[in-house]
Amino acid sequence: MPVTFSRRVVGDIDPRAFTVRTRSGARRHPTCATTRPARSPHKNHTVLLIGELGHEPTDPPVAVEVTGSLALAGADAKGLSAPMIPLADGPTLVLAIGLDRSSIPSDCPAPRTQSIVVVVWAGGVTPAPGADDDAHLAGYEVVTNAGVVRPFALGDLHDGDNYVHLCVDTPARPERVRFAPGIVVDPRGDRNPATSVDVNVVPAWPRHDR
């Protein structure tokens, strides 16, 4: 079960800090919690919870809460909670961060790339059957303060995590990312619905925060 925060996790993770509530009201704790596979200084927003966290369809998990201390960049996540995305739902965008090209390591092509929008999916995604990386690229639109643009390339692909870099050839400020339906699938094979998320623009993304 992936749980994504708007700030990076910067400390050790105690799985007992997470409490998952099921439809019946049962409260469960994961046996393992890790930022893998998206574990690097410029990622670390998503914690993967592993354990007996409910049973689909009889008693699925419906909410997750941070009931213990969990250090984030500049904050503590204790007390945060969120409803659970149903297992059968397709993958959706949950976070987007706009960055200057020089502020993050990326395989976005230089020198054409002027800015990068890092999008984070609810879980890892791959092109749906019949689609490919070109279809994945074509699915994105970036709404900027100067109009709608499309990324000309994607970066950070094929590494098994839930991050994708949108390579943009304009310095316009990104405001929202939209993605068309039915192009990517989650590990269960569920196709994505139409999905969108606001962009958090930051002046730089520190390479090291530990």
Q: What is the pLDDT of residues 68-98, one digit of tens each?
A: 999 999 999 999 999 999 989 999 999 999 9
Q: What are 180's two structure tokens?
A: 């068309």
Cβ-proximal residues to 100 (8 Å cutoff; 6+ apart), any chain: 115, 116, 203, 204
Predicted model pTM: 0.91
If one compares 34 and 208, the residue with the highest pLDDT of the two is 34
pLDDT by residue (tens digit) across 140-191? Answer: 999 999 999 999 999 999 999 999 999 999 989 999 999 999 999 999 999 9
Read out DSSP for the chain?
Answer: -EEE-SS-B-S---GGGEEEEETTS-EE--SEEE-TTS-STT---EEEEES---BTTTB-EEEEEE-S--EETTEE-TT-EEEPPPTTSPP-EEEEEEEEGGGS---SPTTT--EEEEEEESS--EEPTT--HHHHHHTEEEEETTEEE--SEEES-SSSSSEEEEEES--SPEEEEEE-TTSEE-TT-PBPPSEEEE-EE-S---S---
List of domains in the chain: 2-83 (no CATH), 93-201 (2.60.40)
160 exposure class (CB count in 10 Å sphere: 0-12, 13-18, 19+): exposed
Least confident piece of the model among 48-57, 78-87, 201-210:
201-210
Residue range 123-137: mean pLDDT, rounded: 97
Cis? peptide before 41, omega within 30° of 0: no
Q: Is the pLDDT score of 22 beyond 90?
A: yes
Output the average pLDDT for the chain: 93
Q: What are 73's two structure tokens?
A: 């960049």
Q: Which residues of 38-58 are buried (b: 16+ CB within 10 A; e: fewer)?
A: beeebbbbbbbbeeebbeeee
Q: What is the mean pLDDT of residues 16-42?
A: 95
Contact status, residue 177 vs residue 138, Cβ threshold 8 Å: no
The pLDDT value recorded for residue 203 is 60
Q: What is the pLDDT of residue 103?
A: 83
Of 67-76, 118-127, 129-138, 200-209, which gets the smallest average pLDDT? 200-209
Here the tokens at position 120 are: 């984070």
- Residue 205 pLDDT: 38
Q: Does the pLDDT at position 111 exceed 70? A: yes
pLDDT bin (cut points 50, 70, 90) of residue 102 is confident
> Cβ(44)–Cβ(80) under 8 Å?
no
What average pLDDT score do residues 124-147 get? Answer: 96
Reading the block at residue 92, the tokens are: 């959706």
> What's the mean pLDDT in 95-106?
90
